[in-house]
Amino acid sequence: MCLKLGKTTPATVADHKVAHRGDEALFFDPDNLDSLCKPCHDGAKQQLEKSGTLRGCDVDGIPLDEGHHWNVGRRS
């Protein structure tokens, strides 16, 4: 089951909660793994890890990236 979607979707990828960045202990730590389907794994979380920014907006048009200059001081 994909933990992100919270529904019965085949989980095909073991996602690292904290990016291991080559740290073998973190890579193999079972407490650092989540079960995700491939679309969830390859989506926004991976984009954020690779680029440092999260693209997209919420329903009000506010950028999802907490570091976006529109969000400075807006969200806690």
> Is 32 a member of any domain?
yes
18 domain-assigned: yes
**pTM, entire model:** 0.56
Q: Identify the band that residue 63 occupies on the pLDDT scale cut at 50, 70 and 90.
A: confident
Total domains, the chain: 1
Structure confidence at residue 76 (pLDDT):
54
Q: What is the DSSP letter of 54?
A: -
**Residue at 39: amino acid letter:** P
Does position 62 have pLDDT exceeding 80, yes or no?
Answer: yes
For residue 61, being part of any structural domain is answered with: yes
User: Has residue 36 been placed in a domain?
Assistant: yes
Could you tell me the two tokens for 63?
């950028």
**Domain that includes residue 45, residue range:** 13-71
**C-alpha span between 26 and 74 (Å, rounded):** 33
Is residue 25 one of the residues assigned to a domain? yes
Tell me which H or E stretch contains 24: helix 24-28
